């Protein structure tokens, strides 16, 4: 079998469908013809840019979460003291998410400060910490995501930010923000009609197309090329 060696496959969401197919191949022997997109050397450029877009948004996202904490009340939630299944009321969910943002950004910013011999930051508010750490991470973003001596660190860094962004965006997303489905165009990876033009938590187009099912991510221009390809007979498509 001449499979693309996994160490060079982008660890990002562009390969979600491929990873799923690979798991099925390895565990159940289900064959597939998908090829992985290569990382450069860890993340492909579109996935890396997507991580960066999310990172730049954290100060604004956190400000929004802090507002939600002020507005949230425990009213209407059942508080069963000592019960494991106790629902977390609104305010706690937002507070945990802010804690998570502060913690994750500080963790990676600290890694940079140690590597670059930068002074420890002065005592600061959580809002100020988020703003300063985001700025530091943006300055050293290319190094973290692509030039770090340990590829595992680059992978972890981007995945951490992706997870954090998804969670925060989900908590703050306004209800009327609805992604626009890509009518009639199947996902390049999983073949399902689950592609949509991705919107961020404020309803702004991110410039990416996302598969709701397998999580595959395409830049809009890659998607345009795929639309043309998908319109061709299957044989031609497979040869492309």
State the residues that interact with Zn ion by CB under 5 A: 10, 12, 14, 17, 44, 47, 187, 189-190, 211, 213-214, 216
CB of 48 to Zn ion, least distance (A): 8
Cis status, amide bond into 41, omega within 30 of 0: yes
Of the two residues 127 and 151, which places its CB atom closer to Zn ion in the complex? 151
CB of 82 to Zn ion, least distance (A): 43
- 10 Å Cβ neighbour count for 101? 25
Of the two residues 37 and 64, which places its CB atom closer to Zn ion in the complex? 37
Contact 143, 113 (CB under 8 A): no
Of the two residues 44 and 171, which places its CB atom closer to Zn ion in the complex? 44
Contact 226, 188 (CB under 8 A): yes
SS3 assignment, position 64: helix
Of the two residues 36 and 65, which places its CB atom closer to Zn ion in the complex? 36
Cα distances (Å, whole numbers) of residue 208 to 37, 49, 139, 215:
16, 10, 23, 12
CB of 132 to Zn ion, least distance (A): 29
CB of 139 to Zn ion, least distance (A): 23
């Amino acid at each position: 079998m001449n499979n693309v060696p996994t160490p060079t496959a982008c660890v990002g969401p562009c390969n979600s469908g491929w990873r799923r197919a690979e798991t099925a191949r390895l565990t159940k022997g289900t064959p597939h013809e998908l090829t992985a997109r290569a990382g450069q050397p860890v993340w492909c450029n579109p996935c890396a840019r997507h991580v960066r877009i999310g990172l730049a948004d954290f100060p604004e996202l956190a400000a929004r979460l802090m507002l939600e904490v002020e507005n949230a009340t425990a009213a209407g939630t059942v508080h069963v003291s000592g019960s494991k299944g106790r629902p977390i009321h609104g305010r706690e969910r937002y507070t945990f998410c802010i804690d998570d943002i502060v913690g994750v950004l500080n963790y990676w910013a600290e890694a940079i400060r140690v590597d670059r011999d930068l002074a420890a930051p002065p005592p600061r508010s959580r809002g100020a910490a988020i703003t300063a750490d985001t700025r530091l991470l943006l300055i050293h973003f290319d190094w973290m995501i692509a030039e770090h001596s340990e590829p595992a660190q680059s992978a972890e860094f981007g995945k951490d930010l992706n997870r954090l962004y998804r969670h925060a965006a989900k908590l703050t997303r306004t209800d009327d923000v609805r992604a626009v489905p890509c009518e009639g165009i199947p996902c390049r990876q999983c073949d399902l009609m689950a592609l949509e033009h991705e919107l961020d938590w404020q309803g702004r187009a991110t410039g990416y197309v996302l598969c709701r099912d397998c999580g595959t991510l395409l830049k809009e221009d890659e998607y345009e090329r795929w639309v043309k390809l998908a319109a061709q007979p299957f044989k031609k498509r497979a040869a492309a």
